[in-house]
């Protein structure tokens, strides 16, 4: 009798399907959360291992010389820094401390840096080609909120707030140095 009952079985019950869907949902949720954690860790690493180091280099140079750095972050600037005892290659653990690639949700950017002045004449570290979602995350780290028009880290390629990362893939960020 029992074997005949199993032979007549046509498919899965609704409860079995519901359990499978719940399990799939949990797996997808964990994967998405893991992806967000990895992206967040990459942004924090970019901030602490590259952008933040260059900010500190700009402040240290000013402390040692009384002058503000100006121009592109390149091999010439590295030579200038070495003359006053600052070696970016030892501070920034990278074969090329002048640029760094970082991937965002919608784009990857090979970020280049320049020391400049903002509209108020204050020294500024300009970071070009940052993926928009990474720039927003950096703004939250540096200023505590994602507002591309206020704070020390603002959008540099426009007077507007940060755009939607889906439409504008990379932006320029300006970080005013506190010197």
Question: In terms of pLDDT, which residue wins out, 39 or 88?
Answer: 88
152-170 pLDDT per residue, tens: 999 999 889 999 888 888 9
Closest-CA residue to 131 (of 164, 109, 156): 109
DSSP assignment string, 15-64: HHHHHHHHHHHHHHHHHHHHHHHHHHHHHHHHIIIIIHHHHHHHHHHHHH
Question: In terms of pLDDT, which residue wins out, 7 or 174?
Answer: 174
38-74 pLDDT per residue, tens: 888 989 999 998 999 999 999 999 999 999 999 999 9
Confidence grade of residue 30 (pLDDT, cut at 50, 70, 90): confident
Please tell me the total number of residues recorded for the chain in this structure: 179
Relative orientation angle of helices 132-143 and 14-46, to the nearest 10 degrees: 70
Closest-CA residue to 86 (of 66, 110, 111, 57): 57
96-126 pLDDT per residue, tens: 888 888 888 888 888 989 999 888 888 999 9
- The label of the residue with tokens 């006053």 reads 84
> What pTM was computed for the model?
0.79
Distances (CA, A) of 55 to 24, 60, 86, 124: 45, 9, 13, 9
Q: With the C-alpha atoms ordered 87, 88, 93, 96, is the resulting torsion angle positive or negative?
A: negative
Query: Using an 8 Å Cβ cutoff, are 139 and 173 in contact?
Result: yes
End-to-end CA gap in the chain:
87
Closest-CA residue to 132 (of 148, 144, 115): 148
Is residue 9 pLDDT above 70, yes or no?
no
70-84 pLDDT per residue, tens: 999 998 999 999 999
pLDDT at 7: 59
């Amino acid at each position: 009798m029992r074997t005949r009952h199993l032979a007549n079985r046509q498919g899965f019950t609704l409860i079995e399907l519901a359990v499978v869907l719940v399990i799939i949902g949990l797996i997808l949720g964990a994967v998405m959360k893991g992806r967000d954690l990895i992206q967040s860790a990459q942004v924090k690493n970019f901030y602490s291992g590259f952008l933040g180091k260059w900010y500190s280099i700009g402040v240290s140079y000013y402390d040692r010389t009384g002058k503000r750095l100006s121009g592109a972050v390149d091999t010439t600037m590295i030579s200038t820094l070495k003359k006053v005892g600052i070696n970016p290659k030892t501070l920034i653990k990278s074969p090329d401390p002048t640029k760094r690639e970082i991937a965002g949700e919608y784009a990857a950017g090979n970020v280049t840096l320049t020391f400049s002045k903002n509209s108020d004449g204050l020294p500024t570290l300009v970071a070009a080609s940052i993926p928009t979602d990474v720039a927003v995350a950096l703004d939250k780290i540096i200023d505590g909120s994602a507002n591309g028009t206020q704070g020390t880290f603002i959008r540099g390629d426009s007077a507007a707030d940060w755009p939607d990362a889906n439409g504008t893939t990379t932006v320029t960020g300006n970080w005013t140095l506190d010197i």
